[in-house]
């Protein structure tokens, strides 16, 4: 069947999006409610996001073209990181106090919640491209690359969904909204998989820049918003431990895979 890989890409992307939404479910346990310990919740989310930016985006971006890294492979990733940081800086400047007074925005966690949603939404684009390119490669070579990439991303999406949900829940957002917010941040995966699968030869060269862009936005968000917000309500030592735990949790997922 022609373009069967596109159907596979969309289905795999939707499953990965659902997996991201599942990351909000642990917050149903009352003892894990970050609304009681807002600073700790922000710190754990920061650790999860930082590990994801390093291990899911920067390192794969450096080794995407070959297993050995040379100086020329670093520049596209660095360019992406700078562009991603600049994008989030511009977005942060856009969301002034006046613009955030809208009831529709305050319902979704205000400034921090919106920035996290935008950042994780962007983070899902290169993952969707990877799924599309992976399934397209199966049409050329007899491999299971698409299935492997899709499974790996779906598993990664669970703690990433938790990273989205924790700050939202800390501002009093319901579990139901946290689930759908996490789900929507991964929606670019099935959407981006379609064009990238059709013209994979175009998307492959720019993947390091896309991955660096998403990583830069995430790291900038952590330093700009999450850690400063955490410092308002928690002691620095507790924040450092919570960040480390979040980082190790995401690292554990990498090792399991």
At 196 the pLDDT is: 75
Residue of 128, 169, 216 whose CA lies nearest to 45? 169
- The proportion of the chain whose per-residue pLDDT surpasses 70, expressed as a percent, equals 82
Picking from 8-12, 51-55, 202-206, 226-230, which range would have the lowest pLDDT averaged per residue? 202-206
Q: Output 257 or 93, whichever has higher pLDDT.
A: 93
Q: Output 186 or 31, whichever has higher pLDDT.
A: 186
Give the predicted TM-score (pTM) of the model: 0.72
Return the domain boundaries, the chain. 4-28+35-256
3-state SS, residue 3: coil
Residue with the two structure tokens 């989030």: 88
Residues with Cβ within 8 Å of 65's Cβ and at least 6 positions away in sequence, in order, are 73, 208
**Sign, CA torsion 119/15/11/138:** positive
Residue with the two structure tokens 């070959």: 66
**Residue 241 pLDDT exceeds 90:** yes
**Sign, CA torsion 12/13/16/17:** negative
Q: Output 98 or 26, whichever has higher pLDDT.
A: 26
Residue of 156, 218, 170 whose CA lies nearest to 17? 156
Write out the two tokens for 21: 């939404």
Can you say whether residue 95 is alpha, beta or left, with left for phi > 0 and alpha for psi between -120 and 50 degrees?
beta
The conformation of residue 97, written as its DSSP 8-state character, comes to T
The conformation of residue 27, written as its DSSP 8-state character, comes to G
């Amino acid at each position: 069947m022609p373009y069967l890989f596109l159907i596979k890409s969309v289905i795999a992307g939707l499953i990965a999006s659902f997996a991201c939404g599942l990351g909000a479910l642990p917050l149903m346990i009352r003892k894990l409610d970050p609304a009681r310990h807002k600073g700790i919740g922000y710190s754990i989310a920061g650790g999860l996001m930082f590990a994801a930016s390093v291990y899911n985006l920067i390192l794969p971006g450096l080794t995407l073209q070959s297993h050995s890294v040379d100086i020329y492979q670093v520049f596209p990733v660095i360019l992406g990181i700078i562009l991603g940081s600049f994008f989030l800086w511009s977005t942060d400047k856009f969301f002034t106090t006046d613009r955030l007074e809208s009831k529709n925005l305050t319902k979704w966690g205000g400034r921090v919640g919106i920035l996290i949603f935008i950042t994780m939404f962007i983070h899902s684009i290169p993952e969707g491209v990877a799924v599309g390119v992976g399934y397209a490669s199966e049409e050329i070579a007899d491999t299971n690359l698409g299935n492997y990439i899709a499974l790996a991303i779906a598993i990664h999406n669970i703690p990433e969904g938790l990273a989205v949900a924790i700050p939202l829940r800390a501002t009093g957002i319901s579990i139901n909204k946290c689930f759908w917010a996490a789900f929507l941040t991964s929606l670019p995966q099935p959407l981006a998989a379609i064009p990238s699968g059709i013209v994979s030869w175009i998307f492959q060269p720019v993947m390091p820049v896309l991955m660096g862009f998403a990583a830069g936005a995430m790291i900038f968000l952590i330093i700009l918003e999450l850690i400063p917000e955490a410092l308002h309500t928690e002691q620095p030592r507790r924040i450092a431990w919570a960040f480390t735990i979040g980082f190790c949790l995401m690292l554990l997922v990498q090792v399991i895979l």
